[in-house]
Structure formats: C-alpha cells, structure tokens
Amino acid sequence: MTKSLEIIVCGAGITGLGAAIALKRKGHQVSVVEAASQLQEIGAGIQVPPNSSRILKSWGLESKFMAKVMWPKSVAIRRYATGEVIGRTKMNPILQDIYGFPYWFIHRADCQNILYDAAVEAGIQILLGTPIESVDEKGPTVKLQSGQELRADLIVGADGVRSRTRASALKEDVEALESSQCAYRATVPVDLMNSDPSLAHRMTDVNANLWLGPDGHIMGYPIRSGEMYNLVLVSPGKASVGKWNEPADVKEMRSHHANWEPTVQRLLSHVTTCLKWRLAYIPPLERWVSDNGRVVIIGDAAHAMLPLLSQGAAVSIEDGAALAECLDLVIDLVDLSLVLRAFQDLRKPRCETISKAALSLVDLWHLHDGPEQEGRDLKIKQDLINTVVEKTSDSKSSLDTMRDKLVPWMFGYDTVREVSVD
C-alpha cells in the first residue's frame, strides 16, 4: 500500500501550489512555506496550453479557470514595421479538437490565486511570510530564516530560478544564465482600449498578436475576461534575475519600439507604468534529486526557461502531477530514492528539450530585415509557424520544421499516462 508521506513544499508559486494540490489529492500530508507575506499581483498574462489545462481540469479546477480565462482563436503573427499579418497560428477550438483540452490565456496572479484557494480548501497548510534559509537532505529539514527547523519525509523545492533548495541540498551551484533580453510587462485597461477607435476591437476579437521585429518581439492579448489588454515586450535590456516586479521606465520601454507600426505606437501611448524582468534560464542540471532521495526540485528551480514557447508554467504543473503519480510507488521510505530518480529520468529530458527549443527561437524571432527574415516570413506564410528552428553550424538559418513532432508532443502530453507507461 502507498505510504502517506509528510511533505514540505518550498515556494507557493504556480509550481509549488500545483504540486501541493497534486500531492494532497494522493493522501499525503502537505505544507507549503513561502517567503512572501502575501501573494502579489505581479507578472503578466500567461498562456495555458492543453498539456497543462488537462491537469488543471483533472484537479477539478475547470470552472474556476473558466471564470478567469480568455479563449484565443488564433495568434496573428505580424510584421513590426507595417502590422501586416504574416501568418496565423490557430488555437481554439482547433487545439481542443486535436488534443482534447483547451488553450487559455490568464493573468498569472489569477492562476496563482485559483491554485492558492484550491490548496487552502484541500486543507494544505500554507505558511506565508516564511522564508527558508536552506534545506538539509539529512533529516531532511528545512531551516527557516527565523532559525526554526521543520522536518518531513520529503522536501520539494519549488522556490524558483534562484532556488535555495537547489543550492543547499543538491549542491547544484549554478547561476541562471542571463539572456541579453528583458521582458517588459504592461497592461492597458479596457476603458482606454475602448476609447481608442483603432484599438477597441482588440478587446472583443480574442486573437493574440505577435509582432516580430529586429532584436525584439511583442505579444499582446486581452486578459481578465476582457478587463485589460496584456502586453509583453521583449527587447535587449537589463533587469534582476528572478525578480518579477522591478519597475521599468516607460520611456525606455517605448524607445525599443519607436519605429514599430502605428498600432504598436497607439498601444504603447496608453501605457503609464510597466514592470520588467530579465529573461534567464537554468542550464541542464546534473540532477534534481539529492543523494539520499529526500529532496527534489521542480519548476523554475529545476528548469527555468525562456518564455518563447509559453511552456514554463505548463511543464512546472506537469512536474507536480508527475511527482504525485510517481510517489504512488512508495511503500516504504527506502523506496523514495529510486522512485524520485525515476521521476527525474522521466521529467528532465522533456523539460530540457522544451527549454532548448525555446532558446533556439530567440534569434529567429528577432531577425533584422534581410534575406533570413524574408525566409522566415515565407515559412510563416506557408503555415509553418509551429516550428522550432535551429541555427546550423554554418550559421545559415535553417527552418527545421518540427511542427509535426514538437508541438503535438508538447500539447498532447498526458502526464499521468506517461508515468504509468514509464
């Protein structure tokens, strides 16, 4: 019979809360320790692809999400200088038809709040304002910054890109690799959008827009049931790694897109404040599990990735679901080590493949005008946007179409089934 474990999850981000819910549903005793004293309204809109909406639905959260999400029909890929639509990636209802689960847009804070409420409702103890100092695999114990020590059977590090769990218990002394890119996040309230005749239709026509330009891209879509238009603008810049709410200079943000098409200018003219964060990723780690198998890291702590495939939170939600499934095999504490290694073997290749693919998209999306950009746009026109591109060693940009492999594998992944067949 599966052993009910005492589990401490470090971090109440999307990963930690998701894992806590999945573990509790399996009958484990779960508590979460979170540094922030309250969940903050930070971050931007995030996309919830079918591989994660499948899991959220299985946790009984569909109606909660339905009240907050937008259902995009497509993403229009546009040329930065003219706004011309180069191509369209279809989303709903076609993705639901193909994969059985929808593609949603949601505000990151709404997603985190839904998970938080579900965790509390399930009886999970969440200790806010409780920063951890370190994790010791012996015990294993979590040492809080207050000096207090908490012991458990298993400690799950979901404490983000600058994970203390990773540094202390796994001795994985890695720094996130900082890309040269920075993401600015801004929102435009629906009233302002509606007061501008050139923008109003973007609130009701639920299509995302992705403008590709030299050294940057902009993703825009409505969120919060149409309360605001969400903008994520990626361009070269500096910000702190792992800090989601660093205030940014609006003028600086606008300056990166000064020569972009009129709609972009109209949108940016309505932005009064914005935040920024550094795009960073964790290189492939040697391991996610401590030597004695009592500490495991998941989510951004294990595989923070660039957001170009919109999969970071999705695969982090998968981590929690997969971990809970794997722990079904634990009959005795001595089994933990083996089971967690199996978890690691299942999850690491998937997350690292997606991370690598996201990284390879940066150069492609940010091409300067010229033959390579024209080649890319031609491929997009030919409906090959769902591709992942690799630069060849001779540095000629080759569009290596993986639409038929990578996208179905990302979106169609059934985490629970994968654990049972592995």
Ligand X SMILES: Cc1cc2nc3c(=O)[nH]c(=O)nc-3n(C[C@H](O)[C@H](O)[C@H](O)COP(=O)(O)OP(=O)(O)OC[C@H]3O[C@@H](n4cnc5c(N)ncnc54)[C@H](O)[C@@H]3O)c2cc1C
Question: Which CB, 316 or 387, lies closer to ligand X?
Answer: 316
Residue nearest to ligand X (CB): 13
Cα dihedral value 36, 62, 416, 331, nearest 10: 60
Sole binder of ligand X in the list 9, 21, 155, 158 (CB under 6 A)? 158
Provide, rounded to whole angstroms, the least separation between the CB of residue 146 and ligand X.
11
Q: What is the DSSP letter of 36?
A: S
**Per rule CB under 6 A, count of chain residues that contact ligand X:** 33
DSSP string, 132-156: EEEEETTTTEEEETTS-EEE-SEEE
Q: At CA 207, angle to CA 299 and CA 72, rounded to 5?
A: 50
Q: Could you tell me which of 157, 144, 101, 163 has the C-alpha nearest to residue 296? A: 157
Question: Which CB, 30 or 132, lies closer to ligand X?
Answer: 132
Question: Which CB, 217 or 270, lies closer to ligand X?
Answer: 217
Beta strands in 5-58 (DSSP E): 6-10, 29-33, 45-48
Question: Which CB, 87 or 157, lies closer to ligand X?
Answer: 157
Using CA atoms, how far apart are residues 329 and 415, in angstroms rounded to an integer?
A: 16
Under 8 Å CB-to-CB from 175, ≥6 apart: which residues? none
Residue 27 interacts with ligand X (CB under 6 A): yes or no: no
Pick out residues in 39-78 that bind ligand X (CB under 6 A): 44, 46-47
Q: What is the DSSP letter of 44?
A: -
Sole binder of ligand X in the list 137, 300, 377, 414 (CB under 6 A)? 300
What does the buried/exposed string (b/e) look like for 18-50 if buried means 16 or more CB atoms within 10 Å of the residue's CB?
Answer: bbbbbbbebebbbbbbbbeeebeebbbbbbbbb
Q: Is the peptide bond before 140 cis (omega within 30 degrees of 0)?
A: yes
Provide, rounded to whole angstroms, the least separation between the CB of residue 368 and ligand X.
22
Residue 35 interacts with ligand X (CB under 6 A): yes or no: yes
Provide, rounded to whole angstroms, the least separation between the CB of residue 215 and ligand X.
16
Pick out residues in 109-138 that bind ligand X (CB under 6 A): 131-132
Q: Could you tell me which of 105, 152, 200, 176 has the C-alpha nearest to residue 8? A: 152
Beta bridge partners of 74: 90, 207
Cβ–Cβ under 8 Å, residues 385 and 90 = no
Using CA atoms, how far apart are residues 103 and 97, in angstroms rounded to an integer?
A: 11
Sole binder of ligand X in the list 5, 9, 15, 386 (CB under 6 A)? 15
Provide, rounded to whole angstroms, the least separation between the CB of residue 392 and ligand X.
28
Using CA atoms, how far apart are residues 132 and 295, in angstroms rounded to an integer?
A: 14
Q: Could you tell me which of 312, 205, 328 has the C-alpha nearest to residue 263? A: 205
Pick out residues in 310-329 that bind ligand X (CB under 6 A): 310-314, 316
- Site map (CB under 6 A) of ligand X, residues 199-238, x = contact: ---------------------------------x------
Question: Which CB, 59 or 277, lies closer to ligand X?
Answer: 277
Question: Which CB, 183 or 210, lies closer to ligand X?
Answer: 183
What does the buried/exposed string (b/e) look like for 321-351 if buried means 16 or more CB atoms within 10 Å of the residue's CB?
Answer: bbbbbbbeebeeeeebbebbbbbbebbbebb
Residue 299 interacts with ligand X (CB under 6 A): yes or no: yes
CA distances from 35 to 12, 91, 126, 313, 395 (A): 8, 37, 11, 19, 44
Pick out residues in 249-288 that bind ligand X (CB under 6 A): 277, 279
Provide, rounded to whole angstroms, the least separation between the CB of residue 39 and ligand X.
8
Range in contact with ligand X (rule: CB under 6 A) among 19-27, 31-39, 268-276, 337-345: 31-39
Sole binder of ligand X in the list 8, 11, 150, 228 (CB under 6 A)? 11
Range in contact with ligand X (rule: CB under 6 A) among 61-69, 168-176, 309-317, 399-407: 309-317
Q: What is the DSSP letter of 254?
A: H
Sole binder of ligand X in the list 5, 8, 12, 30 (CB under 6 A)? 12
Question: Which CB, 15 or 31, lies closer to ligand X?
Answer: 15
Residue 89 interacts with ligand X (CB under 6 A): yes or no: no
Question: Which CB, 170 or 330, lies closer to ligand X?
Answer: 170
Provide, rounded to whole angstroms, the least separation between the CB of residue 13 and ligand X.
2
Residue 16 interacts with ligand X (CB under 6 A): yes or no: yes
- CA 75 to the chain's CA centroid: 18
Provide, rounded to whole angstroms, the least separation between the CB of residue 185 and ligand X.
7
Contacts to ligand X by CB under 6 A: 10-16, 33-36, 44, 46-47, 131-132, 158-160, 164, 183, 232, 277, 279, 299-300, 307, 310-314, 316
